[in-house]
Amino acid sequence: MFNTDLTLENDQILLRPITEQDFSLLQELANDPQLWIYFTQDLSVPEDFKKWVTPALEGQRLQFVVIEKSSNNIVGSTAFGNYAPADQRIEIGWTWLGKAFHGSGINLQMKLLMVEYAAEVLKLKRVEVKTDVLNLPARYALSKMGFVEEGILRSHTQMTHERRRDTIYYSLIANEFDDFLKKNKS
């Protein structure tokens, strides 16, 4: 389904497939329970971390670690998932960064690399992203990048601490890829 050896990079970051050797570093980054308010699992809990990573290890999605090149440190993770070749679409998600890297521009760099790959290599017609409707920082960032808000699925996803999430979808479609890449690379 996915090229499991895929790496994507620019001058600032490298995305490479996650390995079991990365788990201890990722778990150190994930140790703050406040990071997981808008996430479907609390990765500061070892059992939840395992639930989060298992589908990636089983090939259900292509989970990357994000490496900041200037320090050569792992700073978070992101993934391609829900790939539908017949429908020519893919989802970017399962994305998180250690708290120290919030607001650093790394999220934008990840999205640029991934949208460019989806558009230019996979030749897809749609890239989608979803988040918690309550996650205003993520929603603002996605809108600022140029992703188009599509709509809300009510009571869509079970979250940690027994909360049900309303999920908001964003997307880019083929005729928007070039503008997205030009706008965000400048």
State CA 72 to chain mean position distance. Answer: 20
**Backbone angles phi and psi of 127, in degrees to 5:** -125, 130
Spatial separation of the C-alpha atoms in residues 181 and 186, rounded to whole Å: 9
Residue 1: which pLDDT band, with cuts at 50, 70 and 90?
Answer: low
Is residue 158 pLDDT above 70, yes or no?
yes
Domains of the chain with bracketed CATH: 8-185 (3.40.630.30)
User: pTM of this prediction?
Assistant: 0.96
Amino acid at 140: Y
Residue 183: which pLDDT band, with cuts at 50, 70 and 90?
Answer: very high
For 59, left (φ over 0), alpha (ψ -120 to 50), or beta?
A: left
In terms of Cβ atoms closer than 10 Å to its own Cβ (0-12, 13-18, 19+), residue 140 is exposed
Strand 73-84 with 89-97, pairing: antiparallel
Tell me the pLDDT tens digit for each residue of 134-154.
999 999 999 999 999 999 999
Tokens of 105: 């521009």
